[in-house]
Amino acid sequence: MALRRKSKQFRWHRKHLLGVRELSAEEITYILDTAEGFEQVSTRSVKKAPPLRGKVVVNLFFEDSTRTRNSFVLAASRLSADIIEFTKKTSSVSKGETLLDTAKNLEAMGIDIVVIRHSAGGAPKFLSRSVNACVVNAGDGFCEHPTQGLLDVYTIRKIKGTLEGLKIAIVGDIAHSRVARSDMWAMTKLGAEVIFVGPPTLMPAQISRLPVSVSYSLDEVIEKVDVINMLRIQFERLGGNPFPSIREYSHYFGLTIERMKRAKPDILVMHPGPINRGLEIESEVADGEHSVILEQVKNGLAVRMAVLFLVNQAAAQKR
C-alpha cells in the first residue's frame, strides 16, 4: 500500500513499452494504478474517454492473435484514437517488405503509436530504434508479452490486495513462453515468489540465473501456492518432441479437479488463453470457482488503456 501512495508523485517518462524487465516496481505500480482509473470507464453507459483524440494507433500484428489484438483495438477506441489494423501472417525476410520498411511506410502516414506483435524476440526494440512513434510490445517471440504480465499482476493485486509474499506457480512450456517471462519480471518485482513448473525439456537455458525456483513436480507445488498460472501448450512453437505424448504431459502437468483438491482454498487459477481444455487444464477447473481467466481478459482492457495513455503522454512531454 505504501508503494501506491508513493506512486502518486511519480512521473511516467517512457514513450515505449518494450518489456516488463526494464520497468521498476514503482513504474509497474504506476501503470496498475492508472489502469484502476480506467477500469470504471468501461462501466459507464458511454464507454469513451478523450485522451487519445486525434491520435492514430496502428495494430501491427505479424502473428495470429484474437484476444490481444481486439483488446488493443477496444482500448484505443475507448480512448478515442483512430485505429489502423495491419495484419500480416508471415514476416519472412526473403519475400515482401521488411519490418523496417513497413514501419517507415506507416509512419509516413502519421501514426502516433505502434502496437506490435512479432515472432522474433526483440522486434519491438528494433522498431523503437528506427521510428519516432511510440512502440508498444504486444508479444515478441518468446521474449516478452508485457501487457499480459501487467494484467496478470493487476488481476492478482485486485483480488489479493498485494503481490508481496505470494507464492505463484507458472506451469508449462517455460522455454517458449513470453508470458512466463513477463509474468516472472512483474511478479518478482512486486515481491512475489515465482516457481516455474514443467518438464526439464521445456525449461530455457541457465534458468538458475533467473529470479525463480524450478520444480518438475506439479504435485509438490500445488499445495503451496496462492496463484497458479497454467500456460497454453503452444504446439506451433514446440520444436521436436519435448514430451512423449499429450496424455503423459497432462498426467504430470495438467491442472485437474483431483489436483485442485489439494490446493489452498483461496488459490487463484489463471491462464493467458486460449485454453486447450482437457490438456493443460480440465474444463471444470477452467470454469470453476477459483478461475479468474475471464477476469484477466476484462482487466487486460484497462491495463492496455493505461499503457496507451501513458506512452502517449510521455511522447507529448518529449515533443
| Positions that interact with other proteins (CB under 8 A) | 21, 91-93, 98-100, 118-123, 125-126, 130, 140-144, 178, 181, 204-207, 209-210, 239
CB of 176 closer than 8 Å to CB of 205: no
Which lies closer to other proteins via its Cβ, residue 87 or residue 90?
A: 90
Is residue 122 classed as helix, strand or coil in its secondary structure? coil
CB 260, min distance to other proteins, A: 30
Q: How far is it, in rounded angstroms, from Cα 157 to Cα 163?
A: 6
Give me the torsion for CA of 56, 307, 89, 144, rounded to 10°.
150
DSSP state of 207: G
Closer to other proteins by Cβ: residue 213 or 256: 213
Nearer to other proteins, 4 or 237 (CB): 237
Give the number of other Cβ atoms within 10 Å of residue 77's Cβ: 16
C-beta of 217: minimal distance to other proteins in Å?
22
Task: Give the phi and the psi of residue 150 in degrees, each rounded to 5.
Answer: -70, -40
CB 204 → other proteins: shortest distance, Å?
Answer: 4
- State the Cα angle at 278 between 200 and 158, rounded to 5°: 80
Report the residue number, 179 or 306, with the smaller CB distance to other proteins. Answer: 179
Nearer to other proteins, 104 or 251 (CB): 104
Name the minimum Å distance from CB 122 to other proteins. 4
